[in-house]
Structure 1
């Protein structure tokens, strides 16, 4: 009996010492997450929950031109065509613009429709389409200063002083040459029409240039300007027709003052020119 009591005491003392020894050491680190993927080093990151929601961020409104249904889709198709085939797109656009402008100008004149005039106008527009496009691309890449107002002002002035008189001279000169006029008559047509058209261009195109260079992406600038150009080309066609009428009146007055034989020859030549035009 005494032996068993001493053994019991020894066992209790041993357990108490074991508890005291364990309490002196720090607790072991938490067990790491195990992974069955051997390429991950046997470890994996703890799963993360959903991100903490933040306050609602205001969404910018969609531009108006992107909410016009069929018009928006047509504009996007035009932009894709402009990026893929810029020159062909410009030529086709110019043909449509110049055709619409000449039809409008002929309706304003109140006379019968002359298809030859529309064809002549389309030729002039098709030839000038690519140079006009390249000019405005060049203009968009130059004269870009830190001040947006200064950049716009310089672009407008350069465009009005260089491009406008050059294009108007080409337009009216080509109209005269394609209708059968001589070089002297062509120069007279340019002299009659270019100054007044250049002055009137200051009333329209600076505002159009400022708007397109500020708000319109480069691939859509030509089509936006083309919509305005329908009205402008209508005015140029109308102005060209007025010059033709003045030339016909002046020619008729000159013919009336000549002898009968010379007058008949000049009338026949003028009639042939009008038929071929």
Structure 2
């Protein structure tokens, strides 16, 4: 049994499954990291991902392009999180209550909209999905090559977001302002930084990435939309942010750990 577990085929399948499981978690968790860095906790990630999965599927179904669907899925997350931002930042509503309401309403709305367009079928409607892209030379590396360097474009995009997020948060003025709003909002306001404006920005980024995470589920992980397909990943992404200490690299490692546990 040990020989089977250490075989090249098993390790390759395990790595592939780990990365595929970790990608939606990583996208949603990076988005939530921006939100929490700005001083807001949004437990509505589950609903944002559900909306992203639905509208990503609808976008790809109508246009025939998974890329268009992926973008539409992200934008649907932005739109939904703007509603959360208005209720939380502008109207000073309770973050937890608003997040729970976001989950309940968006997941219910996603199921209703899907049934309105497609009804209830015994055979699910499928779409054109993202296909694996083999990176020249690197994809030929034993075990690691087929697992890491023969993946879909959204997975590469998610991994690329980690250094980009690090650079944005720690090497740009805008990133410094966003972090200052979360750590010392009154001091930031005294310095002329718009606290509501920065929090709106953080929530828009969070909605975009959570929407991307949901769209990944219906456009790359599967090639269809299934009701409740997010299956708790939004809450796991919340845990990944905390476990990763609110840093891009830590969030990535946490997402990989949870993805590995899911793949076993």
TM-score, normalised via structure 2 length: 0.27
Q: Which has the larger radius of gyration?
A: 1
Tell which has more relative contact order, 1 or 2 (C-alpha 8 A, sep 6+): 2
TM-score, normalised via structure 1 length: 0.26
